[in-house]
Amino acid sequence: MTLRGRLTAAFLTVVLGPVLLGAVFVGTTLSAVDRSRSAERLGLAASAVRTSIDALCQQLRAAADAVALRPDPATRAGAAGQVVSRGLATAVLVTDVAGGTTYATPGGPVTPWQDCAGPRTGGPVRALSARVDLRDPAGTPLGAVAAAEVVDPAFMARLAAATGVAVTLLDDTAGTDRITHTTEGGRVRDAVLAAAGAVDGDRVTATPDGRYVRRLRPAPGQPLPLVLSVAGERPSGLPAALVGAVLLAAALAVLTAWRLARVTTRPLVELAGAVDRVARGDLTARVPVRSRDEIGRLAAAFNRMTRETAGYVTALTSSRDQLRGHLGVLGDTLASTHDLQRILRVILHSAIAATGARAGAVLLRDDAGVLVGQCAEGLAGRCPPGTEPEELRVPVGTGVVGLVAATGEPQRGRVPPGPTPTGEPWCETYVAVPFTAPGGAGADPPGRDPAVGVLVLYDRLGVGEFDDDDLATLRTFAGHAAVAVENVRVHEEAQRLSLTDPLTGLWNYRYLRESLRREVERASRFGRMLSILVLDLDRFKIVNDSYGHAAGDAVLAEFARRVRGEIREVDLAFRQGGEEFVVLLPETDAPGAATVAERLGAAVRDTPVVVAGHAGILTTIAVSVSIGIAVYPDHASTGAEVLDAADEALYAAKGAGRDGYRVATARHRPTPVADGAVEEIGVPSGATSPADGLPRAGPPTDRPSIDEPSAHRPPPDRAPADDLSTDLSIDGPTGRHAVGAPGVTQPGGASCGPHPPRQSRGR
């Protein structure tokens, strides 16, 4: 007998024998105990069901007697109502000699009712009743009185609670095809029903899921066809105990096998010693081959393995050092920069060095479905005429690289003789691997998602094609390329989200401060002007109060869209907070800024905003905007000061009646005064218009000044400044309604979004 036979026999003897015997014994014993206990519970439950239904029938019979003893129909009706109100029965029915109904309590169950003492009627049981004959004082039959208790899920639940088992009511006694009511869950009711169909008499049967079922047929005093079921009581720790027994048997088998191998075979001892030497790094260890059995073949295979391993270790040590250097450079690059071109160049250089390729390229897929070269190495003289290595453009699905991107499957091999596909570099052998965004749907299997790029290498050094090891190596570098592309995309998206307002899509207040500083520095360096417009929607709080914040958000988003449509590409629009916006106009003087302000005011004023109101009704909201204008360096010398000047001009536009604009006035720079001296500050008495005709910021007035251009005065159909009724209106189903009341100040309000650090005043 061979060593394998001896070890197999020992394993079967030590492990399988005790495990099988123990499993059979435990399973048989626990099943018998569980079945016995469940049968006992079902027997007690059957007795309890009969007793409960019999008691209910007696109660119904007593209730019917109480009604039948009344001498006339009027008192019988009152007695029937008392019986129902006291809960002695659900309904009472009084019939005449012919069976016609003379009185019935309202809300009773549908007839016919199952009589407690009568034969079982076919069909579902809707109510259980007791019938008493109705006679006059002379003993002449007058009819009958029936008191009934409805049989519904609540009745079954009470019956289950009284018995402690699940109860199912069948439609009839002929079969178990249909169920009227049951307290079983939907998952096990079918198994209980199937088991009940196979029960004969009072015998208890088991379901596949471990429940026990008993059929309770109708009997005198208990006319209901019932099925009783209860869950088994097998110990919950039985699987754990069996697993423990198996583990213990396995441990004994391991110890036994180790002992047998140690004491019976000397070749195994020698082999173990040689293995220990190899484990310590001595690859010169050899095992003497003493026989031609399994141990002899194992020793020969071990000797061959150690010789080949020694060669592999030498080659791997050299490759490891080289790859470690490339991965170090690659890791440092990935961690230190978001420059995609630099990262891809490092990845390509590392892949070429690791595989011994002569040339390679990294191509990324653009929106038009074309692979565009991002970086290349060693492709000089290999590209089509007139194409630079960095200008590679390969349509997806064309050539080797295009096919890899289209199918998502890596490819390697030799290029067949013939013309090179359009856009493909010339080569003899190649290996190309696609890469997708990390975590995409194509992660398993890895090429099924549309490839975002391809890493391709050409012409391995020496002779022969690229092998599977080169393909596996290139997969690793393609994974780094995918991570690099995803990191750059996430970084750019994070930058965009941190600088934009999520509701309107405009730049936020954080980017406003940075842009204002940059534009002021540029204007100062080149001697140019920079105009700032501060815009504020008039009486915006009324929109939120009247139509809700959802409508306010829609108005803000539409206003931002119109602002973008009226400015140049070089202009910058920001949401400063709430309903206040800022527009930077590089290389623009005050007249130019006034022209933009007029366009913005007209774009907002001339076309009301349509939003979805309550119940989906479209609501038209007419809005207007007030604008303050300041110019650098005419009105201030720093970005913060010119923004404050535009803000002051905005308040002047508000005070002048809203729906217009004002240009800031040059700031007065007071001369220093001695300590303790009182400086006298002049206060202008009203707004003035300079020679250029532009309205200037000044103290609020009740009406626009006479010399203000008519283009910026409030329209005739709008309320003047001293009449503070709102200029917001809706065109709804009932006509045009003004919002607000005359003489009541309506401060401005924001719909949503964070406010900037600057303190906002009521508008």
Q: What is the pLDDT of residues 580-589, one digit of tens each?
A: 999 999 999 9
pLDDT of residue 597: 95
* Res 520 pLDDT > 50: yes
* Res 681 pLDDT > 50: no
pLDDT of residue 211: 79
As a three-state string, the secondary structure of 372-429 is: EEEEEECCCCCCCCCCCHHHCEEECCCHHHHHHHHHCCCEEEECCCCCCCCCCCCCCE
pLDDT of residue 345: 85
Residue 494: what residue type?
A
Q: Residue 233: which of 450, 488, 40 has the closest Cα?
A: 40
pLDDT of residue 139: 80
Grouping H, G, I as helix, E, B as strand and the rest as coil, residue 144 is strand
Q: Among 59-63, 152-156, 215-219, 601-605, whose mean pLDDT is lowest?
A: 215-219
Q: Among 169-178, 460-469, 714-723, whose mean pLDDT is lowest?
A: 714-723
Mean pLDDT taken over the chain: 76
* Res 28 pLDDT > 50: yes
pLDDT of residue 196: 66
Cα atoms in the Cβ-side hemisphere of radius 13 Å centred on 9: 7
Record the pTM. Answer: 0.39
Q: What value does the mean pLDDT take over residues 210-218?
A: 80
Q: Which residues pair with 455 in a beta bridge?
A: 362, 433
Q: What is the pLDDT of residues 189-209, one digit of tens each?
A: 666 766 666 666 667 887 777
Which pLDDT band, with edges at 50, 70 and 90, does 287 fall under? confident
Q: What value does the mean pLDDT take over residues 96-113?
A: 84
Q: How far is CA 536 from CA 666, 690, 752, 762, in A?
A: 22, 24, 14, 11
- What is the radius of gyration, based on Cα positions, of the chain? 47
Most confidently modeled range among 210-214, 398-402, 714-718: 398-402
Query: Regarding predicted confidence, which is higher, 388 or 490?
Result: 490
Q: What value does the mean pLDDT take over residues 310-317?
A: 76
Query: Regarding predicted confidence, which is higher, 753 or 379?
Result: 379
pLDDT of residue 187: 62
pLDDT of residue 444: 43
Domains along the sequence of the chain with CATH: 29-231 (no CATH), 337-496 (3.30.450.40), 509-667+689-738 (3.30.70.270)
* Res 559 pLDDT > 50: yes
Q: What is the pLDDT of residues 250-282, one digit of tens each?
A: 677 666 766 665 556 677 777 888 888 888 888
Which pLDDT band, with edges at 50, 70 and 90, does 385 fall under? low
* 718 Cβ contact list (under 8 Å, min separation 6): 624, 657, 659, 727
Which pLDDT band, with edges at 50, 70 and 90, does 722 fall under? very low
